[in-house]
Structure 1
């Protein structure tokens, strides 16, 4: 029987700072914001955290099979982390049927990760419109050109669609030169659990978990209890 191979060269020590209960913020929002800010600062300083807000998002399809992809976290407040997407995309269709969702921010260079679990709720149209106007003109055009998750013949067809909408909505330098597509929206994770993972030597990592025990936002300390999980 052939033995499985493994890579010795990837079994390196995790030289992280860890995370103790005494260092943990009183509520999840402050802690997550703190780590996101430190990831953004590290990217600016060292350049080894390429997308500090890259969020791995897991959903399930109608057969219960998991689906995961990476989006960018565009919202983060007491209501939870949020992202934008086409409302006809695979992720949106799956969340429309089963709102259970999990997501994670991972910063390997810092030996840190944040895990969110909860249910997905649609982001309001006003918030979506406000965010849409902040995007670069080309990104707003792409939102029209791409029928997200649907098959397309080839890249030439995709580029042709982009060019059609670029002519229809030319760049005037105004935030209103490209309207918000009806199919464009977003989702927020109403969390019931937020886990902070911090890597340490010998695989004795720190895992501190905020679990919801009462109503309240991510900024409400009395809505959460904290416990430590074994690595």
Structure 2
């Protein structure tokens, strides 16, 4: 990796965040041992209590950041209830972090179908077998459900469960953080008032 990747030039040369994110993610794909697309997703329940967990980013563009899940899971219910969420990427090998937050929309059926069909067959079976985030009486119950759905879909296509789809976070802020000596880190935040508005770039104190 060239030294220029690790300088403040990464911040000052970009006037919109998606190209910069793409550059940083590409770097992470070369340096992170596991899942460079892993990201913490934070949500809030109906009582205002926060939750956070790791998911895998499955796509991004100027429209937002996409991941897939069971909509009957805890995070699914919380996102559908609040229609807002936040993400945090941390790439330890690069000493970099990206935080974003914004409004959330459900991806189209066509997008969800296409991604679902790209998954391994076992993962598609698992989407049917797992009652995500609900109590499980024992591992055998899960294995039994997997066996039942494996038999049901022994041949042919496996349809996407109606409760399984994707969310797109449409950010109103994206912050890029790069570790520097003496904790004098570089921080740049891109902000906009609305999900489709123009970006403002602001340098932040560390």
1:154: Cα distance to partner? 1.1
Tell me which residue corresponds to 2:204. Answer: 229
Tell me which residue corresponds to 1:205. Answer: 185
1:99: Cα distance to partner? 1.7
1:115 aligns with 2:109: no
Number of positions where the alignment pairs a residue of Structure 1 with one of Structure 2: 202
Tell me which residue corresponds to 2:36. Answer: 52
Match of 2:48, SS?
coil
Give the TM-score normalised by structure 1. Answer: 0.82
1:42 aligns with 2:31: yes
Tell me which residue corresponds to 2:112. Answer: 128
Asked if structure 1 preserves the Cα contact closer than 8 Å seen for 2:172 and 2:194, the reply is no
Identify the match of residue 157 of structure 2 among 161, 168, 177.
177
Tell me which residue corresponds to 2:15. Answer: 26
List gaps (5 residues or longer) in structure 2.
none
Q: Which has the higher contact order (CA 8 A, sep 6+)?
A: 1
1:75 aligns with 2:59: yes
Tell me which residue corresponds to 2:170. Answer: 190
Match of 1:35, SS?
helix
Give the TM-score normalised by structure 2. Answer: 0.92
Identify the match of residue 155 of structure 1 among 130, 139, 160.
139
Larger Rg: 1
List gaps (5 residues or longer) in structure 1.
1-15, 218-222
Distance in 2 separating the partners of 1:200 and 1:18: 10
How far does the alpha carbon of each residue in 1:137-196 deviate from its partner, in whole angstroms, 9 at most, with x for none? Answer: 1111100110111111011111111111111112x5xxx621111110111101100000
Distance in 1 separating the partners of 2:205 and 2:7: 13
